[in-house]
């Protein structure tokens, strides 16, 4: 099982090999797994004061006529519960009622694309769970991937991973080292949903604006050809859709150093160890604009040598 953080940080190129899973992921029963998870993390259904307060305050912030709609959207109350809620009371009472209806500390919500969102508030034996700094874990039950928000403290991470492994009945969890602020982008990359054509199919540059910077028609033609070529190459590597928004990628190289024989340099039999990090507000866009094409993401998972 791999997991990813959803904020900037390090990223490994390799999508990696799966560690031996002990059961077929397609047979997951989400709700059973979630119950396990909840039990493992010792989230109870005991409401405590800070949580109650948090919910109460949150509800109070909503204008009264929007409360019901908001609660529906949040979706942590069932239809029946929503029905029972009397929205004509004073807001104070409404919020009290909402609090009573809620279960806290760990909540689960299922979404359509088989994504289960888990909201976790962390506490210690001495401190109540902090509702204002929750972490989120997104798990797609049919996949061996989990996305974890960066708000999980380093100290809590091993515990969370352990819980996830136990609950999901996997055998190991490994960080994939790809981070972004855009969860959808990470999902696109992991689930390989972005369009990446491998054929070099030429699409003519119709309607592309090539400003004639120069009256000399030959130069304009050169520019146009060059732009077409770059466009073609980029199409080949990146596809024509919008790029997933990735901010950071990290690669660990342990390959042999090979040099031009006439340079008479290092010829060690051991790997040349390097760590390369790319970062940008929108990494794939910036790589795309590096002309000519970068064969970077074509080699998903492996680093090829000539």
Partner 1 sequence: MAEEAQEDGATRTLPSLRRLSRALPFGRTHGRLGISSSGRPIVSALCSQESADPQQTALLLRKAWTLYSVTPLYRFRRARLRDYARLLSAFIAAEKQKGLAVEVGVELDIKVALSSLADLRGSELDQAALLVQLSSRSRASSRNSEDKLVWSGWFCSVFGDDLSENLPEDFTSLPLFLSHGAESYTSLVGSWFQKTFDCCFRRLAISPQNLSWMVAMWAGCKLDRAAAAVELVFSVPRLSQPLDISYAIHPEDAKALWDTVQKTPGEITQEEVDVFMDCLYAHFHRHFKIHLSAAKLVKVSTAVASAHCDGIVKILQSQYLPGMLMLLTELAISQIQ
Residues in contact with partner 1 by CB under 8 A are 251, 253, 255, 257-260, 263-268, 270, 272-283, 285-287, 289-290, 293-296, 303, 305-306
> At its nearest, how many Å lie between partner 1 and the CB of residue 184?
18
Residue 143 phi, psi (nearest 5): -130, 160
Rounded to the nearest whole angstrom, what is the least distance from the CB of residue 82 to partner 1 in the complex?
Answer: 44
Q: Which is closer to partner 1, CB of 128 or CB of 229? A: 229
The span from the first CA to the last CA of the chain, in angstroms, equals: 31
**Collapsed DSSP state (helix, strand, coil) of residue 1:** coil
- Decide whether 100 or 255 has the Cβ nearer to partner 1: 255
CB of 177 to partner 1, least distance (A): 14
Name the region of 177 (left: φ>0; alpha: ψ -120 to 50; beta: rest): left
Give the whole-angstrom CA distance, residue 302 versus residue 288.
Answer: 20
Nearer Cβ to partner 1, position 171 or 258?
258
Q: To the nearest whole angstrom, how small is the minimum distance from the Cβ of residue 276 to partner 1?
A: 5
Of 197, 199, 203, the residue nearest 231 (C-alpha): 203
- What three-state secondary structure class fits 33? helix
CB of 225 to partner 1, least distance (A): 21
Pick 139 or 248: Cβ nearer partner 1 = 248
Three-state secondary structure readout of 76-135? CCCHHHHHHCCCCCCHHHHHHHHHHHCCCCEEEEECCCCEEEEEECCCCCCCCCCCCCCE
Shorter beta-carbon distance to partner 1: residue 3 or 245? 245
Q: How far is the CB of 253 from partner 1 (least distance, A)?
A: 6
The encoded tokens of residue 174 equal: 């490994």
Q: Are 15 and 299 in contact (CB under 8 A)?
A: no
Structure letter (DSSP) for residue 191 = T
> Rounded to the nearest whole angstrom, what is the least distance from the CB of residue 38 to partner 1 in the complex?
41
**Cβ closer to partner 1: 41 or 284?**
284
The least distance separating partner 1 from the CB of residue 136, rounded to whole angstroms, comes to 27
Task: Kindly state the smallest distance separating residue 264's Cβ from partner 1, in Å.
Answer: 8
Instruction: Give 219-225 contacts, CB < 8 A, sequence gap 24+.
Output: none
Comparing CB distances to partner 1, the nearer of 35 and 258 is: 258
Nearer to partner 1, 11 or 134 (CB): 11
Closest CB to partner 1 among 228 and 285? Answer: 285
Structure tokens that stand for 299 in this block: 């080699």
For residue 224, give the H/E element and its range: helix 217-238
Task: Kindly report the three-state secondary structure assignment for every residue of 199-214.
Answer: CCCCCCCCCCCCCCCC
CA distances from 153 to 130, 140, 156 (A): 12, 22, 5
């Amino acid at each position: 099982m791999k997991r990813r953080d959803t904020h900037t940080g390090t990223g490994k190129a390799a999508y990696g090999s799966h560690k031996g899973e002990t059961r077929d992921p397609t047979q997951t029963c989400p709700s059973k797994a979630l119950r396990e998870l909840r039990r493992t993390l010792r989230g109870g259904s005991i409401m405590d004061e800070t949580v109650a307060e948090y919910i109460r305050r949150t509800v109070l912030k909503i204008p009264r006529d929007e409360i019901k709609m908001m609660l529906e959207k949040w979706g942590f109350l069932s239809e029946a519960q929503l029905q029972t809620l009397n929205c004509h009371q004073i807001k104070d009472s409404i919020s009290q009622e909402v609090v009573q209806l809620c279960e806290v500390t760990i909540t689960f919500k299922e979404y359509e694309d088989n994504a289960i969102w888990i909201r976790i508030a962390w506490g210690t034996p001495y401190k109540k769970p902090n509702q204002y700094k929750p972490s989120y874990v997104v798990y797609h039950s049919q996949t061996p991937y989990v996305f974890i928000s960066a708000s999980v403290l380093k100290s809590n991470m091993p515990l969370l991973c352990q819980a996830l492994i136990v609950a999901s009945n996997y055998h190991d969890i490994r960080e994939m080292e790809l981070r972004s602020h855009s969860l959808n982008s990470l999902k696109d990359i992991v689930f390989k949903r972005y369009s990446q054509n491998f054929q070099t199919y030429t699409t003519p540059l119709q309607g592309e604006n090539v400003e004639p910077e120069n009256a000399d028609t030959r130069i304009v033609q050169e520019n146009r050809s060059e732009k077409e070529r770059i466009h073609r190459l980029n199409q080949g590597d990146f596809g024509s859709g919008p790029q997933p928004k990735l901010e950071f990628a990290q690669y660990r190289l342990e390959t042999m150093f090979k040099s031009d024989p006439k340079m008479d340099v290092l010829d060690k039999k051991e790997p040349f160890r390097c760590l390369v990090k790319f970062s940008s507000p929108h990494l794939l866009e910036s790589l795309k604009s590096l002309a000519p094409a970068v064969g970077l993401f074509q080699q998903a998972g492996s680093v090829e040598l000539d």
